[in-house]
Amino acid sequence: MKKFLSMLLLFGGFAYSQNGIPTDYFSNPLNINMVLAGNFGEMRANHFHSGLDIKTEQREGLPVYAPANGYVSRINVQHYGYGKALYILHPNGYTTVYGHLRSFAGDIEKYAKDTQYAKETFEIELFPEKTLLPVKKGDLIAYTGNTGGSGGPHLHFEIRDSSQRPMNPLLFGIEIPDSKKPIVSAVFAYPTGEDAHVNQSQNRTKLRLIKQKDGTYKTESLTAYGKIGFGITTFDQQDGASNKNGSYKINTQFNGTEKFEVLFNKFAFSETRYLNRYTDYNYYETNKSMVQKLFREPNNPLSIITKEDDNGYITVNDSLSSIYTIDVSDFKGNTMQVSIPIEGKKMEILDPKKVEKTADYIYADHATSITKGKFSIYIPANSLYEDTYLDIKDEGDILKFHEDVIPIHSNISITADISNYHESDKDKLYIGRLNYKGLPLYTSTTRNGDKLTAKIRTFGSYTVAIDTTPPTVKPVNFAEGKWISHQNFLKVKITDDLSGISSYRGTINGKFILMEYDYKKDVLTYNFNDNINLETENNFKLIVIDNVGNSATFEAKFFRKHP
């Protein structure tokens, strides 16, 4: 049978790993060595990273080549998120994804641009038919860039299975040299049972790490009792780059028995926000470092947890000594081990669990409505992961809605009564979240008569804010009445002081022009190669509208020689 199987595989012409994943099907989509700025599964704010961030030598415009045959199944252009993104569906059912592109190439670029002009919009999402844009392995499909929510030039590369679940691209035989072991930078204990303690504390306890001669680590010896979980901060570095990427596998044992395993092979996008349950949200918000909790709490359905015994918790008995070990590995199998010696001892608790009791106790599995002054709050069932006391106060126009130290899984509504505002102002109001400077950042707000409603997923202070100032528009590389025959682009800077830019529309001589919006630079760019019928004398007009409907109109005349 085994022989028959391998014959079958050979016949297909591709090699497969043990779990049936093709290991030489996809080639490197770039013609430079793969160096990673980010890897699969690493922890980001509110999500696990779903692909590889491939470095592009700090440059944009590197050619991207199809890593296998297939066809363009989706083109997505957004201001935020993946920016310009391309999806290729391959005959074996996998989809490869390319994000933050500067542009597409050839027929793909032409198809995208034609559609943008036909729909008169920059943002588009298209699902071309199978026969429309076929690609062969090695075809030029796009150029790398820095579009959307990208913090520097790179290619975001993903491989998804036939259910659109992102998979670890390294499973497909992509070679990333890595000779360094992962680093475990901190270890924490979480006493969980009623009478459990760690060094006489019921609270999260940071353990001191001590390096051993053999390169492994040990923590200080603990006295502990009862049901306890552990958590770590970890990162891995590959050869040739200093970026701190995610570790691939974490495995724990208690007295030699396996307790818990986390493996970054695959997840579903519907799971990704449960990162806030898996990591210590409170610690992240206060220390900006992600602690992975090596135990499964209620309301954590994550499939990256691949093995667990008693949800990963250990139970320490009185007067018994035991040992807990954590093995952290990278994809190449380099492993760092940390061991935690534990003395079982039931002791008096000197640092009891800190719980701040308030009037508003929320049952996570119930829907709750709360009214404070002019604000009413609706918390749907399962917006929170656990039953919690919330600290909620209204101070006139400000709603203090706890602090951003507890995660919110799904939307909570905040409604504000605006009947005491001037009728003429009501259209310019929105609900804003106060940032650290006290500025009200726009949250998507809807108005229904005298009620404003915002849906929010972060605790903090919210206020009713007013924006009566229209956006500003400034030309970047031209001026009223000037000749600009030698310029390839027309650029303007657009900004809005409070509620932010909602939409814009540019025309030349009354005809729509495609302007690409880079929100990171506040710049709109039109490419003269788009070949709108220009005259010698041209009238450029741009209308920009902010999120509460304040509108600015900018007009300028420019001259251009044309053939």
Binding site for Zn ion (CB under 5 A): 53, 156
- DSSP assignment, residue 355? -
Rounded Cα gap, residues 442 and 432, in angstroms: 5
> In this structure, are residues 276 and 400 in contact, taking their beta carbons and an 8 Å threshold?
no
Provide the token pair at 386: 């656990």
- Taking the complex as a whole, the smallest distance from the CB of residue 527 to Zn ion amounts, in Å, to 26
Rounded Cα gap, residues 317 and 222, in angstroms: 13
- Taking the complex as a whole, the smallest distance from the CB of residue 47 to Zn ion amounts, in Å, to 10
> In this structure, are residues 117 and 511 in contact, taking their beta carbons and an 8 Å threshold?
no
Provide the token pair at 114: 């034609």
Provide the token pair at 432: 């804003």
Task: Output 49 or 249, the one with its CB closest to Zn ion.
Answer: 49
- Taking the complex as a whole, the smallest distance from the CB of residue 156 to Zn ion amounts, in Å, to 3
Task: Output 54 or 501, the one with its CB closest to Zn ion.
Answer: 54
- Taking the complex as a whole, the smallest distance from the CB of residue 161 to Zn ion amounts, in Å, to 18
- Taking the complex as a whole, the smallest distance from the CB of residue 77 to Zn ion amounts, in Å, to 17
- Taking the complex as a whole, the smallest distance from the CB of residue 34 to Zn ion amounts, in Å, to 14
Task: Output 72 or 85, the one with its CB closest to Zn ion.
Answer: 85
Task: Output 141 or 429, the one with its CB closest to Zn ion.
Answer: 141
User: Closest CB to Zn ion belongs to which residue?
Assistant: 156
φ, ψ dihedrals at 505, nearest 5°: -150, 125
**β-sheet bridge partners, residue 134:** 71
Element (H or E) spanning 117, and its range? helix 106-119
Please report, for residues 83, 187, 214, 323, 517, the alpha-carbon distance to residue 327 in angstroms, rounded to integers and kept in the order given: 37, 12, 14, 13, 46
What are the respective helix, strand and coil percentages of the chain, to the nearest 5?
10, 45, 45
- Taking the complex as a whole, the smallest distance from the CB of residue 302 to Zn ion amounts, in Å, to 20
Please report, for residues 240, 250, 455, the alpha-carbon distance to residue 244 in angstroms, rounded to integers and kept in the order given: 12, 16, 34
- Taking the complex as a whole, the smallest distance from the CB of residue 459 to Zn ion amounts, in Å, to 27
Please report, for residues 228, 327, 417, the alpha-carbon distance to residue 223 in angstroms, rounded to integers and kept in the order given: 12, 22, 54
Task: Output 53 or 496, the one with its CB closest to Zn ion.
Answer: 53
Rounded Cα gap, residues 92 and 15, in angstroms: 13
Provide the token pair at 79: 């201001």
Task: Output 53 or 467, the one with its CB closest to Zn ion.
Answer: 53
- Taking the complex as a whole, the smallest distance from the CB of residue 154 to Zn ion amounts, in Å, to 7
Secondary structure class of 145 (helix, strand, coil): strand
Task: Output 80 or 483, the one with its CB closest to Zn ion.
Answer: 80
